[in-house]
Amino acid sequence: MREIVYMVHTSLDGCVEGPNGEFDWPVMGPELSAYSQELSARAGAFAYGRKVWDMMSAYWPEAESISDHPHDIAFAPVWRETPKVVFSRTLEKADWNTRVFGGDLGEAVAALKAEPGGDLLLMGGAELAAALTARGLIDEYQVFVHPVVLGGGKRPFAEGTARLGLELAQSRMFDDQVVLLRHRRA
């Protein structure tokens, strides 16, 4: 059975974006970029909520014409080729090999997990991750802590999220500055 792996970049103070929605702070050095590429290559599909989908679909289809960063150049074709799923109550259809699920979240995830193929890689965001966590549907959390304090902003788990016991599966440092904390459900 497929699993859901939540991959999220956070600041040292635990935010996924700054107070004004900024996402210009993650440091994608060569080691972290290579690990991200490995993780993406093992995924059967990328999963997003609507807000992250809007950000990703506005950038990655044309990333090579926007950026010359080696990570962006390497990841753009992977993003375009990999199947994607978007969970949204408002989006009806999406391009780039993407399926949209707007019904019951638990039923949609159960159906996706039962399909053959690699794991579902949930990238970033907060609302969808919180909803999936509340339902016990995320199997693994990969939290990348970056060397920045944002002083507020959205956090990957909503206030009021029920206590969740996890087991540390791995910790690792990338590029002498970003720390991965990889946890699995206990």
User: 19-46: per-residue pLDDT in tens?
Assistant: 998 999 998 999 999 999 999 999 999 9
Single pTM value for the model: 0.94
Q: What does the CA dihedral 150, 152, 158, 163 come to, rounded to 10 degrees?
A: 80
Q: Cβ–Cβ contacts within 10 Å for residue 100, how many?
A: 17
What residues does each domain of the chain span? 4-177
> DSSP letter at 94?
-
Is a pLDDT exceeding 90 seen at residue 160? no
Q: Cβ–Cβ contacts within 10 Å for residue 137, how many?
A: 22
The answer to whether domain 4-177 has CATH 3.40.430.10 is: yes
Report the alpha-carbon distance of residue 102 to residue 181 in Å, rounded: 31
Q: What does the CA dihedral 62, 112, 186, 175 come to, rounded to 10 degrees?
A: -20
